[in-house]
Structures are given as structure tokens and as C-alpha cells.
Amino acid sequence: MSTAAIDWSLVWPALIAGLLITATHVPLGIQVLNRGIVFIDLAVAQIAGLGVIAADWLGFVPHGWAVQAAALSAALGGALLLTYTDKRWADVQEAIIGVTFVVAANAAILMLAANPHGAEHLKDLLIGQILWVNPHELPVEAAIYAAILAIWFGFGARIGRVGFYTLFACAVTVSVQLVGLYLVFTTLIVPALATRRLQRGRLVACYALGAAGYATGLGLSLVSDLPPGPLIVCAMTALGAVVFVLGPRRPPRGSAPGVAG
């Protein structure tokens, strides 16, 4: 087998995973930006990761259904907590999200302190191992993302605050285990931020930017032998900066349709 074939066999599942995450996180990211709760994905993703670490700490098989259930339960619990705080103390919601992230992150560090592979697990949670995505798991993950998108575009504002946080928790739970926390945050925020001043075609521009960021980062990883996760983060951010600078000078009047509070 040629080197090119070997490289492509590693890249195509990673690229598909990136495109799936982009498809789901772009509309959610626009909504997050509109609501002014930018760091919610970091908090929910960290809570989902804490669920994974807790399941591993309890001795469950990695990537088994018990681990998935633990991650989803933790993320949903965190999402419902943030739903309550958003309703009760909306004026300090961003601060509450930050505190939630810090507590979850440090709880994970404590659980990994006695684990000889703790540093490796923590690194995987943060930057992921996108090149080692299992292609056989992609159809299941694609079906989950398709269901999330169908609910989002089918019901929109009618899903309400609880529905939004629940969908968000489901999406982030899958994504953080695929590509890590940093890539989840970048995919969610950078395209939405870079295109916030576009009056037409914003969704298409976001999708194009996300896809280009993953393709560029993975390509650079192949030629440089550097880790793909950080390269994708830097590539998508650089492309987003170009889009922002070259885009319209003023944001469109009003905000995009969002979830009803």
C-alpha cells in the first residue's frame, strides 16, 4: 500500500467526523452567540468528559454503552442546571458557566490524579485524537447528528430553553469524544463569530469555513507530522479572521431568529 493510500485511510474518517460536527455545531453556535453564552459548550463538554472519566474510574469498558450513558447523563444534568440558572440568574449566567467549567475540570483532574495514564486521558479530552476516529462508528454518530438537526430546523424557537440546552448537551456529548474539547469549542464559535456581520448566506459561509478549517488542518498535519487537533483550531481561526476582516463592516440589523426564552 502506498504512503498516499495510508495517509488517506487515516484522513477520510477524520474529515467526515469534522464535517458532521460542523453540520451540527454551526446552527447551535449562531444561537449561542446570539444568546451571549459563548462558553456554554466548554462547560457542557467538560461535564460530559467528566462523565467519561467517572465511568472509566468506576471500571467500565472504554467507549462502551455504560460510558456513553455516563457522559450523556452528566451533560444533560449540566445542561438542565444551566437552564435553571439561565432562567433564575440570567444576568450572571456567563459567570456561572465559567465556574461550572472550572469545577468540572478540576474534578476530572482529581479523578485522574491516581491514574498512571491520567495525563494521556486529560490530553485526549482536551485536544482529542481525530485521526483515530473509528469509521465504523461514524454512521451511528451521523444518525444522532441528523436527528439533532431535524429537531433544530424542524422546530426552531418552539423547542424552548430546555429543548435548546438538551439538544446542545446531546451534540456536545458525541462531539467531545470524537475530537476533544478544544475542537468542539472552535467549531461552535469561530464560524459564527467570523460571519456575524453577514446579512446573506451566513449559514452557508459558516459551513464552508468549518469544512475548510478541518480540511486545511488535516492537510497540514499530513505534511508536517504535527498533531491535527491544534492545527485545525489554528487553521479555522486564521480562516475565520480573514472572513471577518474581508466581510461587511456592520452587522445586520436585529439578531437572527433564536430560541424563545
pLDDT, tens only, 164-206 = 888 888 888 888 878 888 898 999 999 999 999 888 899 999 9
To the nearest whole percent, how much of the chain has pLDDT over 70? 85
The predicted pLDDT at position 126 comes to 66
Q: Which CATH class is domain 3-246?
A: mainly alpha
What percent of the chain is helix, strand and coil (3-state, nearest 5)? 80, 0, 20
**What ranges do the domains of the chain cover?**
3-246
More confident residue, 60 or 21: 21
DSSP class of residue 36? Answer: T
To the nearest whole percent, how much of the chain has pLDDT over 90? 32
More confident residue, 185 or 2: 185
The predicted pLDDT at position 258 comes to 44
pLDDT of 138 over the 80 cut: yes
Contacts of 210 (CB under 8 A, 6+ apart): 18, 19, 21, 22, 25, 26, 187, 190, 191, 236
The predicted pLDDT at position 257 comes to 44
Q: 133: helix, coil or strand?
A: coil
The band of 146, judged by pLDDT with boundaries at 50, 70 and 90, is very high
pTM of the model: 0.81
Give the burial class of 104: count Cβ atoms within 10 A of its Cβ; 0-12 exposed, 13-18 middle, 19 or more buried. Answer: buried
Closest CA to 197 of 23, 30, 28: 30
Q: 261: helix, coil or strand?
A: coil
Span of 20-24, 31-35, 124-128, 217-221 with lowest mean pLDDT:
124-128
The predicted pLDDT at position 62 comes to 63
What is the overall mean pLDDT for the chain? 83
The predicted pLDDT at position 160 comes to 82
Query: Grid coordinates 498533531 are at which residue?
Result: 227
pLDDT of 133 over the 90 cut: no
DSSP class of residue 91? Answer: G
- pLDDT tens digits for 212-254? 999 999 999 988 888 899 999 999 999 999 999 988 876 656 5
The predicted pLDDT at position 4 comes to 44
